[in-house]
Each structure stands twice: as structure tokens, then as C-alpha cells.
Amino acid sequence: MPGPELSSFMMTGASSSLLVLLLLNTLLLAESSAAVDPCCYFPCQHRGVCVRFGMDRYECDCTRTGYYGPNCTIPEFWTRFRETLRPTPGFYHYILTHFKWLWDIINNTFLRDMLMKIVLTVRANLIPSPPTYNSEYEYISWEAYSNLSYYTRILPPVPADCPTPMGVKGNKQLPDPQIIAEKFLLRKQFIPDPQGTNLMFAFFAQHFTHQFFKTYGRMGRGFTKGLGHGVDLSHVYGDTLDRQHALRLFKDGKLKYQVVNGEVYPPTVLQSPIHMNYPKNIPSEKRFAVGQEVFGLLPGLMMYATLWLREHNRVCDVLKQEHPTWNDEQLFQTTRLILIGETIKIVIEDYVQHLSGYFLKLKFDPEMLFGIQFQYSNRIAVEFNQLYHWHALMPDTFDIQDQKFSYESFIYNSSMLLDYGVETLVESFTNQHAGQIGGVKNIHSYILKVAVGVIEESRLLRLQPFNEYRKRFGLKPYGSFQELTGEEEMAAELEELYGDFEAMEFYPGLMIEKAQPNSIFGESIVEMGAPFSLKGLLSNPICSPIYWKPSTFGGKTGFDIVNTASLQKLVCLNVKKCPPNVAFHVPDFNLGKSHLRRKPSTEL
């Protein structure tokens, strides 16, 4: 046996070793903690920019935010004054959607223009211009600015080395996207939009946005095909010069067409040899050739493609009569500018007007912005692309006259346009309700996979949490899942899956958020989507002081076509018999109809 001295030495040595191990473990934990990027905590508020220094230090750049302090949380005097007086977005929405008698008066006075100018400037100022980040660069760089192959981003990606996928909050692993979609988005029973939105709106939304939402998966996520980042009508004319030339007639400025039963329709791929996405079983003579290669997917998209084709050729005839000396190229190019103007006019005064539910009559008048600083350029953001996935608009069946078409019989039905004609499709889509988008489980099972793909994409692109976007757009962050949903059962399920509300994802948050009263979706889509939309529309070059004048559009006649455009005119000037009630809402819609009122949150 060892002597007392040796035993004491061994005990002392063991204690020393234990202390050393404990010390090393503490140092390792400290080093591991220090290695966490402090920007993972999203410490910088009010648009402050987080910059990491070393391993564990950061600074918030509060320049021109109106705030100061370590985390940009202390308001400057005028900021405090403005914030004290500024009503909440909910208050604005209530005022704009109530008191119709008052708005009927305002809409006929100078106050309409004054309020419209405020709406445009306040909304547009929320979108950074020039662009800031993209999915490759989470900091300001020349590449992020100049590389048009990327979607831009409003917020940089979540740093790659954060403890959790959403920064530092929430579970270590995000829930399965399929589970999220099936639990919170999958339709059990069709819920019509309480604003009376119809399928004319639903198909217009798809048709219109495909000119600037062109995710290019072959290059990786976060990329867009083509260089267009705005309303350029590339979905009508093609996104490359080769595609455009294949679609042009090269006579009198017109596009190629075919005549069937006395009506003008798009040419086939045999007449315009371009790539179109059709299943192999669709013969070439039944494949329409148009600017956007995916429009063969739905007859509603091809209906709009036909209307714009007819409108282009109609305007060419008008310009040809006004300018008999103009050649084909000038007729084509000027007509394209006119149709761009028509599109923006329709989107603001018909499409956005309906979507907003406002009693303020929206107005397309670029001159309202001429006296202020405004940049006439636009970049499409990946967040805008995610936000605009409104597949809940689609019904259970598509009702054409007395026949109901399932998804299987409607999708890639290349003969439906010719079988029924534009007038019948317009009338049928006008009369059929579209679904409510937000706050309810309303995506049809056939297209639920699209929502799953959006969630997967957002994770690959490391989008910041939903609350960070709420704050970025001047909205109060939610404090709980129950505050988001307005009920308890779904909130509890979300909390179990995510662990913490600060880990709530962007797209699911938008779709699950409780809808505003009698509205198609919740507050966040309105307050985030409107700035993207209005900035993108009014920053078009034709809206600039240099372009916005009659000569750009071939003189007063062409300028008048732009300034008097409407959805109804687009349809009725391009069909033999104008269908009744052409609009983005079902005929004679009344918000008071009991069967269309928003269902209580307990029925989600």
C-alpha cells in the first residue's frame, strides 16, 4: 500500500486533473459561445446594419435610421415626435375601408391626388433603391448591385453559422415543410374570398407576375431568368430577342397570329418555332406559342395571352393609320410602350384597387411624383416572389358554362380556348369565386406541393424570421403564435413545431396570419406587398418625366389609349361581343352577403 504522502499526492493530483478538465471545458464552452456570430441575434433595430468585428463583437450602423445607440433603439427627437403622431397600419386600413360616403366626396376633390401622392411616396420609400443584398452577398457589394441574374433581397440571409436555422431562437431543426403545409395550409373545404374576388383576378395575377417572377433553378436558388425586373411585357413578347423575333410578323408592327372560326388566336409552335412547356402528348398543332413558355399550363393564362396579342395588333392598326410613314420596327416598339402603359394603368386602377378594398379611388398619374426625388429603376426581391404565391385563389373545380373541370382535365387543356372562345371563358371566370388567401387553410391538395417548394426555397436562401420582416416594414412584431393566428389550437401546434415565435418562417407566417375583417389576407401581406407593387409599377421608365409625354406613345391618340385603359376595355375592344360584368370581382358583389363573410378564426 502506498504511504500517506503518496496517497495524498495521488489525491491532490486527481483533484488537480479534475480542475484542469473543468477549466478546459469552461474555456471550450466560452470559445464555442464566442464563435457565434453576434449578428445571429439580430441586435440592430430600425433598419440598422449589423457589422461583425472579430469573433464576438459587432456594431450597428444607425446612419439615417432616425435612431442611435448600440442597437439603434434610441429615437432622435424628430423620430420620437413622428412616431408619437403616426397612426398604426391597422388604423389606416380601417379608415380607408370604411366611411364610403366620405370617400365619395374626397374622390371628387383635389384631396384624392394629395392622398394618392402620400400613398405612393410612403410605400415606395420602404423599398431600397439602389438594391442592397442578394442570396450570395449578405453585405453591400458591387456584385449584389450589378448582377441582374439575382433577385435582390430586402434583408440579408441569416448568417450561416448561427446556432439555429433562424438565428438563436427556436428548435435546432425546422419542422418538415410537408407537415407545415398539410397542417396549416391544406384545404378541407373551399373558402371563398370575402372581397368577392373571382377567377379573372386569379388568372390575371398569374399572367401579370410571370413577366418578372422567373426563378431560374438551373443556376441555383435566388436567380431569375432574363434581365427584366419590372413591367416589360416579356410574358407577351418573350424575354430574349430571338424569342421576340420568332413571335413577330415583321409587318405593320404586328405579332404573328392564326385565325380560327373568324377569331384571332396565338400562333402554334409550328408557325413560331419557340420552346413551350407542354406534355409530350400534346401535338405541335395544338401548342400555342406566346412570350412566356409556361402559359400552356392553364387555359386562363392563354386567355389573357390571346387578349394581349389582339390588343397589340389592334393598337398597331391605330398607329399605322396615324403614322402611315412609320416602318414595322417603330410601330412595334411604340405599341409595346403603349401596352406597358395600359398594363400599369389596369394594375393600379383595377387590380390593386380591388385587392386593397379601399374606398379611396386609386389613380395612375406619374406626374404626381415628378416634384420629388424618385429613382426610375426596379429590382425584384426574393421576398416579393415568396409573398406572391397565392395558390389559395384556385377553386376546387373550374366551371365553364354548365361543365365542371377538375385539375386533371383543366391543366394543359390546349383545346379549351378554341372550343369555348375568349368571351365564354371571360364570362365564366368572372362569375366564379376565387379563394381566400390568408388566415385559412385553403390550398387545394393538387397544388399543395407548390407551397412545400416555397418553404424549402426559403430555407435554402436562409430568409430571416417573420418578425424581422414585420419590423423592417414598420409593423409591430408579434409576441406569440396566438397573436399571429387569433386562436389557440393552431397556435399551440405551431409552438410545438417551432419552439419559439422568433423562429417563425416568412412564408408560413404570411399565409397563417389571421385575415383582416372582410379581407382576402392579413395585415403583413398588405403592408409588405403594396410597397413592392407600387415601387415596381411607378419606377417603370415610361413613368419618368423624360418618357411620360404624348410623343413617346405616338401622339395624343396613343397617349389616350394608355390613360383610358381598363380591364373592361382590354376585353371588350378585343372580342366580337362584350361579356357582361367584366371585372375582378363576381357580379353584383355585396360585402354583406352572409355566406361570404369571413369565417371565425376557430374554424381555421
DSSP 140: -
pLDDT at 588: 78
Nearest 5°: CA angle at 509, between 508 and 513? 115
Give the model confidence (pLDDT) of 244-283 as tens digits. 999 999 999 999 999 999 999 999 999 999 999 999 999 9
Residue among 257, 265, 278, 388 flagged as catalytic:
388
Give the model confidence (pLDDT) of 459-481 as tens digits. 999 999 999 999 999 999 999 99
Residue 377: pLDDT over 90: no
The residues near 402 (Cβ < 8 Å, ≥ 6 apart) are none
DSSP 359: S
Confidence class for position 590, pLDDT limits 50, 70, 90: low
Confidence class for position 219, pLDDT limits 50, 70, 90: low
pLDDT at 69: 97
389 among known catalytic residues: no
Tell me which residue of 316, 296, 202, 169 sits closest to 254, measured CA to CA: 316
Least confident range of 161-165, 431-435, 587-591: 587-591
Give the model confidence (pLDDT) of 42-81 as tens digits. 999 999 999 999 888 999 999 999 999 999 999 999 999 9
Residue 9: pLDDT over 50: no
Residue 600: pLDDT over 70: no
Residue among 210, 323, 444, 446 flagged as catalytic:
210
pLDDT at 222: 81
Distance (Å, whole) CA 393 – CA 434: 5
Residue-by-residue DSSP string for 305-337: HHHHHHHHHHHHHHHHHH-TT--HHHHHHHHHH
CB atoms within 10 A of CB 588: 8
Mean pLDDT of 510-525: 95
388 among known catalytic residues: yes
User: What residues are paired with 443 via a beta bridge?
Assistant: 186
How far is residue 529 from each of residues 73, 306, 384, 540, measured CA to CA in Å? 26, 28, 7, 17
By CB atoms closer than 10 A (0-12, 13-18, 19+), residue 331 is: buried
Tell me which residue of 198, 311, 259 sits closest to 569, measured CA to CA: 311
Distance (Å, whole) CA 390 – CA 203: 11
Q: What is the pTM of this model?
A: 0.90
Residue 586: pLDDT over 90: yes
Mean pLDDT of 538-545: 94
Tell me which residue of 298, 47, 205, 86 sits closest to 521, measured CA to CA: 205
Residue 238: pLDDT over 50: yes
DSSP 294: T
Confidence class for position 453, pLDDT limits 50, 70, 90: very high
Q: How many alpha carbons fall within 13 Å on the CB side of residue 271?
A: 18
CB atoms within 10 A of CB 106: 16
Helix (H) or strand (E) holding 507: helix 506-512
Percentage of the chain exceeding pLDDT 70: 91
Distance (Å, whole) CA 369 – CA 353: 19
Confidence class for position 90, pLDDT limits 50, 70, 90: confident
Residue 371: pLDDT over 90: no
